[in-house]
């Protein structure tokens, strides 16, 4: 049995899977959850910024269905904010949440599109 530091297992998504999801043109929520001090004015193309501390407000104000597909990411593999956002969304009852733990760093490293915002 593996030990984890979190209470719940967060589903993750790879760079390849994110690319396929974006290419599919399927409607899903794709959020950069970096908070102010860590946000560098860059989003992965096709995503928008919803800081970790505003995730709960965002799903309420957008009236997202509990089965809405949501992918969250942050700065990269060493950044805990995507996992924290996914856990928060799951606690709020969202069932189709995945964390892209490679985040902005892995996306840029693969030579994929970044938008300045």
pLDDT digits (tens, 9 = 90+) for 62-98: 999 999 999 999 999 999 999 999 999 999 999 999 9
Q: 88 is in which domain, residue-wise?
A: 31-38+66-117
Query: How many domains are there within the chain?
Result: 1
Asked if residue 53 is part of any domain, the answer here is no
Asked if residue 111 is part of any domain, the answer here is yes
The confidence score (pLDDT) of residue 9 equals: 86
The confidence score (pLDDT) of residue 4 equals: 41
pLDDT at 2 over 50: no
Asked if residue 20 is part of any domain, the answer here is no
Asked if residue 88 is part of any domain, the answer here is yes
For residue 8, what pLDDT band results from cuts at 50, 70 and 90?
Answer: low
Asked if residue 98 is part of any domain, the answer here is yes
Asked if residue 106 is part of any domain, the answer here is yes
Q: What is the pTM of this model?
A: 0.91
User: What whole-number percentage of the chain has pLDDT above 70?
Assistant: 93
Asked if residue 103 is part of any domain, the answer here is yes
End-to-end CA distance of the chain: 43
Asked if residue 74 is part of any domain, the answer here is yes
Q: What is the mean pLDDT of residues 97-105?
A: 97
> What CATH number should be reported for the domain holding residue 108?
3.40.250.10
Helix axis angle for 81-91 and 55-62, nearest 10°, is 50
β-pair partners for 72: 31, 99
């Amino acid at each position: 049995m593996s030990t984890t530091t979190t209470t719940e297992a967060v589903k993750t998504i790879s760079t390849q899977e994110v690319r396929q999801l974006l290419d599919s043109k399927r409607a899903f929520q794709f959020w950069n959850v970096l908070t102010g001090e860590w946000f560098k004015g860059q989003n992965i193309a096709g995503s928008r910024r919803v800081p970790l501390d505003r995730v709960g407000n965002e799903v309420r104000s957008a009236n997202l269905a509990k089965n809405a597909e949501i992918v969250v990411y942050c700065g990269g593999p060493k950044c805990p904010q995507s996992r924290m956002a996914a856990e928060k969304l799951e606690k709020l009852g969202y069932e189709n949440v995945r964390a892209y733990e490679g985040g902005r760093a892995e996306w840029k490293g693969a030579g994929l599109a970044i938008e300045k915002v």
